[in-house]
Amino acid sequence: MEAINLKGTYDTPDVVLNAEEGVFEISGRSYPEDTAEFYIPILEWINNYVAQPNTETKFTFRLDYFNSSSYKPFLDILVKLGKLNSNGHAVTIQWYYKDGDWDIKEAGEEFSEIVDVPFTYETF
């Protein structure tokens, strides 16, 4: 499975999805002009990964900011990972937020209430 390695821009996040190395991370700022267009290949990659997952998946979100239109693709990713977790695969979400950025932390807490995946929270 070919890895995705996107370098972030001012309004798009860094994205590393590498099943071979076990690295799954979205970091930076997410408010692309066309959110759907940006996240379609990422969601397709996740769909393919869920069909043949690693034994363990640690998915990291390390966000400075994300807009409301990024919420849906993040939720889609987390729901897919939740199904993977429900099927007996070890999945953990590492949710990082800037010290004092309660909005980002609360967003992670909201996601954790929706999906069946354990979350850990840490500041950066």
pLDDT tens per residue across span 49-105: 999 999 999 999 999 999 999 999 999 999 999 999 999 999 999 999 999 999 999
Confidence of residue 13 (pLDDT cuts 50, 70, 90): very high
For 3, residues 6+ apart whose C-beta sits below 8 A from its C-beta are 16, 17, 18, 19, 20, 21
Count CA atoms within 13 Å of residue 30 on its CB side.
25
Question: Helices 68-86 and 35-51 sit at what angle, rounded to 10 degrees?
Answer: 10
Whole-number mean pLDDT of the chain? 97
Global confidence as pTM: 0.96
Which CATH architecture is the domain 4-123 placed in?
Answer: 2-Layer Sandwich (3.30)
Looking at residue 62, what is its pLDDT? 98
CA 106 to chain CA mean position, Å: 15
Q: So where are the chain's domains?
A: 4-123
